[in-house]
Amino acid sequence: MPELRKDPIVDRWVIIAQERGKRPADFASPTVNSQAGFCPFCLGNESKTPQEILALRPNGSGPNESGWSLRVVPNKYPALTIEGGIDRVGEGMYDKMNGIGAHEVIIEGSCHEVALEELPERAVQETLWAFQQRIIDLKRDPRFRYILVFKNHGEAAGATLEHTHSQLVALPIVPELVLEELDGARRHYEYKERCIYCDIIAQERGDGRRVVMENHDFIAVCPYAPRFPFETWILPKYHSAHFEHDSTEALAGAANILKDVLLKLRMVCNQPPYNFVLHNSTVQSKHSAYFHWHIEIMPKLTKLAGFEAGTGFHINPVSPEEAADILRACTVHP
Amino acid sequence: MPELRKDPIVDRWVIIAQERGKRPADFASPTVNSQAGFCPFCLGNESKTPQEILALRPNGSGPNESGWSLRVVPNKYPALTIEGGIDRVGEGMYDKMNGIGAHEVIIEGSCHEVALEELPERAVQETLWAFQQRIIDLKRDPRFRYILVFKNHGEAAGATLEHTHSQLVALPIVPELVLEELDGARRHYEYKERCIYCDIIAQERGDGRRVVMENHDFIAVCPYAPRFPFETWILPKYHSAHFEHDSTEALAGAANILKDVLLKLRMVCNQPPYNFVLHNSTVQSKHSAYFHWHIEIMPKLTKLAGFEAGTGFHINPVSPEEAADILRACTVHP
């Protein structure tokens, strides 16, 4: 069973999930399937994944059959396992607990060659809808404190399979970075009685230099202090702490802007590897007044090195004003 | 001039250091010199670096001439610039300051093909001595609050030049990760009146499963909660907060264990890219009772992805007990 271990000096948890039988040098080898290789996420290979949890089947086919347009399955090599208790224990001065959690894969489309941003807007919306459904379902399990949704696209961004997919991990603790973000938002609210994200949106719309695009309900901006070149955040312009409670109309707007921003990044940065992370409230609802869900998209164009590891600072060679300027100018609907 | 910008929500600074003229897609291309290409760090190319700050010249040659065995030069493409004032200013709700700092390169040997761990132990010791000299000198500048020493080896670990070198960055603020480490060590000291690193060393020596090697004054361990496969820390067994104050004998012991651990990693992990970071006290000496300098070596065998970006957790497929077992068994002096 995987273990969650805590560093004794700083508040940092790691998941030790041993992959037995792998030799040390194996970790360095790329693991992305070539298009010629076998893909467990392709149509017809449904039996090669664990049993599906959710699917969209426009032709009415049965579970784990072909004919789907979206599929959610448990990760075959989970970082955390669903069965068991948390069992916190000490080892001398150290602390650990069982690696309990859910680890699911959202297969966003059935065609191996088509990236998320190339899918029809409706399919992007269905992907967001699948995120909502899985969050709502997993929130019922009292062991889980946080549900993280993210996407790794491209080998340099950590994707181990090429076929377009996102991932969801339900965790027995609220991660440190989420706590920091909630704390920062809470402090601002206590002082000003306003949501800090609503304030950021107001300042960015007034300034304009870092705005990439807007639609009716959403805005995409390059943040003032971006860690990565062309880092872009997508935020609802209305205040909403819980992504999973937003309406179908809201999801349509989010899908529209997510697809367009990803297409802009694809064109401007030459099909970059990227990660995106859904920043959402915890399972508890006490953050509703001051937290504001959003998606942070991080193209992987630079490498993290000793400086970042030693400081937590990032060095970014592209200012957000320059990045937004280039992304704004890029036309994705000719 | 580079800018230090602070994220308005979390306590995260970024350095915006624009590299003008680079197109977005350029960031994805590898920049490591091939052995056939030109190398500004090789013997005879001294005029291609900025004027040297420190050098070891066994043959008595003059500054910026050939004949050196170690050279310290300013980074030609610094992340921070040495000239100017800090000038903290606000931009609406945001905060920034000038990117003031020193950024130096320690060229550890004159031969392009020879890695740090392949150099004679004496040369590794001279590298550590050079770190000390530069820290002592830069501490005199009242603008600097922290001096970071680190090494990027291999392209995947962020090295942009192949010729063996480390780097030093003097910063106008104490970075977040350093503050967290100092805080953790201080809390332990306040409660127990003991150094947490001394306690860790005692527990690891008693347990033995995570010890890689020891010599008279130093120990190498795989930490209990490692972020990366084969992550290894080197600590003095005596209590010392300030690396730059340690004796020549201490440096000899540190060089001995650093070289051997890097050689073990090289053999076990098939010449992995790696980073190491010197974790040292700040410029102030108030941490002397509870901080304990050490070197953290992080082989780059896994990729950071959306999960790490969203949580701050790391997923590590190799337990430190297994890693230490393999590293202990590896013989580097046949």
B203 vs A contacts (CB less than 8 Å): 92-94
What percent of chain A lies above the pLDDT cut of 90? 84
Give the CA distances from residue A149 to residues A117, A137, A169, A277, in Å, rounded to whole numbers and listed in that order: 17, 14, 7, 6
CATH superfamily of A3-171: HIT-like (3.30.428.10)
**Residue B59 is encoded by which pair of tokens?**
């043959």
Cα–Cα distance for residue pair A95/A247, rounded to 1 Å: 41
Does the structure show a pLDDT above 80 at B113? yes
Domain boundaries, given as residue ranges, for chain A: 3-171, 176-329
pLDDT tens digit sequence for A77-97: 888 988 888 888 999 999 999
CATH of domain A176-329: 3.30.428.10
pLDDT at A333: 82
Q: Given this model, what pLDDT does residue A175 score? A: 92
- State ipTM: 0.91
pLDDT for the residue numbered A35: 46
Q: How confident is the model at residue B29 (pLDDT cuts 50, 70, 90)?
A: very low
Alpha carbons A89 and B183: distance in angstroms, whole number:
24
What pLDDT is stored for residue B21 in this prediction?
A: 53
How many Cβ pairs closer than 8 A exist between chain A and B? Answer: 272
DSSP codes of every residue in B249-262: HHHHHHHHHHHHHH
The chain B residue lying nearest A29, using CA atoms, is B301
For the cut 90, the answer to whether the pLDDT of residue A34 exceeds it is no
* One-letter amino acid for residue A246 of the chain: D
Report angle CA A327, A329, A333 to the nearest 5 degrees: 90
Q: Got the DSSP string for B50-65?
A: SPPSEEE-TT-PPTTS
Q: Known binder of ligand: residue A42?
A: yes
Closest listed residue to residue B28, CA positions, set A318, A270, A232 = A270
- The class (CATH top level) of B176-233+245-273+283-329 is alpha beta
Q: What is the DSSP letter of B138?
A: H
A112 marked as binding residue: yes
Tokens of B196: 């947490």
Say what the pLDDT of residue B30 is.
Answer: 46
- Given this model, what pLDDT does residue A30 score? 45
Q: Work out the average pLDDT over B98-110.
A: 95
CA torsion angle B153 B159 B164 B165 (round to 10): -100
Residue B302: pLDDT band (50, 70, 90) is confident
- Do domains A3-171 and A176-329 share one topology? The answer is yes
**Annotation marks residue A165 as catalytic:** yes
Nearest to A28 among B223, B276, B301 (CB): B301
Q: Do A76 and A87 form a contact (C-beta atoms < 8 A)?
A: no
pLDDT at A22 (0 to 100): 63
B112 is in an annotated binding site: yes
